[in-house]
Amino acid sequence: MEAEIRYLPLYPDEHGTLFQESFLRDSPNILPRVLPEHADIADTVRVIDVAEASGGKVLRILMNADLDEAVGFLVDPRIEPPLAPLSKEMEKKRAENHWAWRLEMAEHIASKLDPGRFGVQAMYVIGSTKNATAGPQSDIDLLVHFRGTKKQRQDLMTWMEGWSMSLDEMNFHKTGLRSGGILDVHLVTDEDIANRTSYAVKIDAVTDAARPLLLKDGACQPDREGS
């Protein structure tokens, strides 16, 4: 890494790993030519001159460290790379903490949510956004203490879906990635909280507790045991 050399291991049996094995096996092994003193290990170690083996083509590799994915392909060296070098602005966006803006948006959504309209008692953020480990494709996990009617539940989820799609568009402009919606909303009831079932165990948990969010105009404070 210090020499700015990126390594790309290939695991043939790993799901999602595809490569042209014949190119690696059938191309001339130039190890005896470049290191004749080690020709005896040519059956184990293969060194390939890509241009020589492919008729003048070069190997280009595109890597995304955030997604831990890469693709390599042979191409005429006269063809311009499909991706231009990143601008300083794009570099700045890549360096951005993905969890920070997600947490900010979770707080903003809570501040706009009318608890009386949607039958909401309290709202929390959990998961990678709360723990500051969110990546470019991470959801924003929201935990909602719900006390409303069936109609209010439907209205609430529709309202949340609008936010989810809007935030997904924001994330696309930041990272170039889409997920079809970025909010993951978990509803819990009074019964869930009383029985400590479902995601309700996160409320006032000893470890990895849900982070309370202030609702619109401070109208609804987070739950506390015995409330």
Tell me, yes or no, whether 122 lies in a domain. Answer: yes
Please, which pLDDT band fits residue 174 given cuts at 50, 70 and 90? confident
Tell me, yes or no, whether 6 lies in a domain. Answer: no
Please, which pLDDT band fits residue 156 given cuts at 50, 70 and 90? very high
Do residues 120 and 146 touch, judged by C-beta distance below 8 A?
yes
Please, which pLDDT band fits residue 226 given cuts at 50, 70 and 90? very low
Indicate if 109 and 193 belong to the same structural domain. Answer: yes
Percentage of residues in the chain having pLDDT higher than 70: 82
What's the confidence (pLDDT) of residue 18? Answer: 85
Tell me, yes or no, whether 145 lies in a domain. Answer: yes
What's the confidence (pLDDT) of residue 89? Answer: 53
Indicate if 68 and 142 belong to the same structural domain. Answer: no
More confident of the two residues 158 and 59:
158
What's the confidence (pLDDT) of residue 38? Answer: 93
> How many domains does the chain fold into?
2
Tell me, yes or no, whether 136 lies in a domain. Answer: yes
* Mean of pLDDT values over 209-223: 75
Tell me, yes or no, whether 2 lies in a domain. Answer: no
Indicate if 117 and 188 belong to the same structural domain. Answer: yes
63 is in which domain, residue-wise? 21-84
Tell me, yes or no, whether 90 lies in a domain. Answer: no
Indicate if 163 and 51 belong to the same structural domain. Answer: no
What's the confidence (pLDDT) of residue 66? Answer: 59
Q: Mean of the per-residue pLDDT values for the chain?
A: 85
Please, which pLDDT band fits residue 82 given cuts at 50, 70 and 90? low
pTM over 0.85: no
* Mean of pLDDT values over 157-174: 93
Query: What is the 3-state secondary structure of 172-197?
Result: HHHHCCCCCCCEEEEEECHHHHHHCC
| Residue after which a domain boundary falls, among 59, 84, 109 | 84
Indicate if 126 and 205 belong to the same structural domain. Answer: yes
Predicted confidence (pLDDT) at residue 86 exceeds the cutoff of 60: no
Find, among 85, 25, 72, 29, the residue nearest to 52 by Cα: 29
Residue 201's CATH number: 3.30.460
Please, which pLDDT band fits residue 128 given cuts at 50, 70 and 90? very high
Per DSSP bridges, beta strands 120-126 and 69-75 are: unpaired
What's the confidence (pLDDT) of residue 43? Answer: 92
Which run of H or of E encompasses 129? helix 127-130
Residue in the block written with tokens 């008729």: 55
Tell me, yes or no, whether 224 lies in a domain. Answer: no
What's the confidence (pLDDT) of residue 72? Answer: 86
Indicate if 76 and 106 belong to the same structural domain. Answer: no
Indicate if 65 and 162 belong to the same structural domain. Answer: no
CA distance 184 to 141: 5
For the stretch 7-32, pLDDT in tens is: 677 777 888 888 888 888 899 999 99
